[in-house]
């Protein structure tokens, strides 16, 4: 991709002495204003457990599959990876593959790569959990076979601080538009593009159950504030409720509270969380991780929150459409039914 595909030359004034002004004619991640911002100076919405959009499965965290997520404006894809056995490929499973298996990592990445092919001015991040603690080289094959490798960005220096990241325009011009992070056992000497997540960013409390969403740095633990202030950061804004099944404590999304949790304003809302984090750390969070992104005080309210965090506006008419894959999706009533069924089963077993 050439610089000319990004820049239009316009005549600023109708005089022979005036010089043509370069103006950006292409949006980056939907907004021309974002093109000259470093990735570390942009806020993006992350789909928590992006692949887990299985209708009527209590372990799901999203309604729509990944193509819809990307079309609607999701720019961060987070999920667990599992290695079911020595002969299997990496799979996308929630807690265990018996509970929810969304298929192979390679298949999912192939879908993402196809979308990137069709959207050359978009930058995304993929954040993976290495639940079985497999070697980082295990991830090479699915990324290679999916055709995603040419898109992967490798930072100029490890342990990058805020100033070390490129602008969105630079990533787009290089066609290195995907940042990939792994939570455990990343080794950039072996796999340079597979970044150690907590060397590059920190997170607020994981799997939160506190509706106040305190904006404290939990992972990595014991990191000095001075270091945290010079790193990107993620707010985990996916409220959970703890239930007990067969003696095990399990966290499930707080389905019935989604309208408020994903709202633009109000106590416990995503908007309030961003405000609190901005006040605490002096800048908005880079990554806003949410469950069921299409729910809120209006459909897609999370995207208005992120637009405002970026100092921009959001067109409410953009979100959220029918599944492009034709897969039947959960509506809000279905989510609530799953919640009540799940908690009723929990109560039944507690009484046994």
Below-70 pLDDT ranges, the chain:
1-25, 86-87, 245-248, 321-352
Which SS3 state, helix, strand or coil, does residue 319 take?
A: coil
In whole angstroms, what is the distance from residue 59 CA to residue 62 CA? 10
Given this model, what pLDDT does residue 243 score? 80
Alpha helix segments (H runs only) across the chain: 66-72, 105-118, 140-146, 168-174, 197-200, 225-228, 258-261, 270-281, 301-309, 332-351
CB atoms within 10 A of CB 73: 21
Please identify which residue in the block is written with the tokens 């729910």: 295
CATH class of domain segment(s) 36-329: alpha beta
| 94 is a catalytic site residue | yes
Is there a contact between 154 and 20 (Cβ–Cβ < 8 Å)?
Answer: no
Tokens encoding 187:
């080794």
pLDDT in tens, 18-74: 554 555 568 999 999 999 999 999 999 999 999 999 988 888 999 999 999 999 999
Given this model, what pLDDT does residue 248 score? 65
Spatial neighbors of 176 by CB under 8 A, at least 6 apart, are 151, 152, 153, 154
Domain range summary for the chain, segments of one domain joined by +: 36-329
**CB half-sphere exposure, 75, CA atoms < 13 A:** 25
Tokens encoding 195:
């970044």
Q: Which of 56, 82, 91, 94 is catalytic?
A: 94
| 237 is a catalytic site residue | no
What totals of helices (H) and strands (E) does the chain contain, helices first? 10, 14
Q: Which of 48, 82, 91, 237 is catalytic?
A: 48
- pTM score, whole prediction: 0.87
CB atoms within 10 A of CB 317: 7
């Amino acid at each position: 991709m050439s610089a000319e595909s990004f820049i239009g030359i316009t005549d600023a004034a109708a005089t022979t002495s005036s010089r043509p002004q370069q103006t950006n004619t292409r949006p980056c991640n939907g907004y021309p204003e974002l093109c000259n911002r470093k990735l570390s100076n942009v806020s993006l919405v992350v789909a928590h457990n992006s692949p887990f959009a299985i209708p009527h499965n209590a372990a799901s965290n999203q309604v729509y599959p990944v193509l819809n997520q990307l079309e609607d404006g999701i720019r961060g894809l987070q999920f667990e990876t599992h290695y079911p056995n020595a002969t299997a490929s990496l799979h996308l499973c929630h807690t265990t593959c018996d509970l929810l298996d969304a298929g192979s990592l390679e298949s999912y990445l192939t879908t993402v790569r196809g979308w990137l092919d069709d959207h050359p001015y978009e930058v995304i991040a993929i954040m993976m959990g290495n639940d079985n603690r497999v070697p980082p080289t295990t991830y090479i094959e699915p990324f290679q076979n999916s055709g995603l490798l040419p898109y992967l960005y490798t930072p100029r220096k490890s342990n990058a601080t805020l100033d070390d990241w490129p602008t969105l325009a630079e990533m787009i011009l290089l066609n290195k538009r995907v940042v990939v992070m792994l939570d455990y056992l990343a080794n950039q000497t072996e796999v340079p593009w597979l970044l150690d997540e907590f060397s590059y960013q920190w997170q607020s409390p994981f799997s939160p159950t506190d509706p106040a969403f305190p904006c404290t740095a939990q992972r990595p633990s014991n990191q000095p504030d001075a270091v945290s202030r010079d790193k990107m950061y993620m707010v985990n804004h996916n409220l959970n409720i703890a239930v007990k099944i067969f003696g095990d404590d399990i966290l499930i999304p707080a389905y019935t509270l989604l309208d408020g949790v994903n709202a633009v304003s109000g106590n416990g809302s995503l908007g309030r969380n961003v405000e609190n984090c901005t006040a605490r750390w002096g800048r908005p969070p880079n990554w806003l991780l949410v469950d069921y992104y299409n729910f809120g005080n209006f459909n897609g309210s999370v995207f208005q929150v992120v637009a405002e965090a970026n100092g921009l506006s959001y067109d409410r008419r953009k979100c959220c459409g029918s599944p492009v894959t034709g897969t039947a999706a959960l509506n809000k009533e279905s989510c609530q039914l799953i919640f009540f069924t799940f908690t009723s089963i929990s109560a039944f077993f507690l009484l046994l």
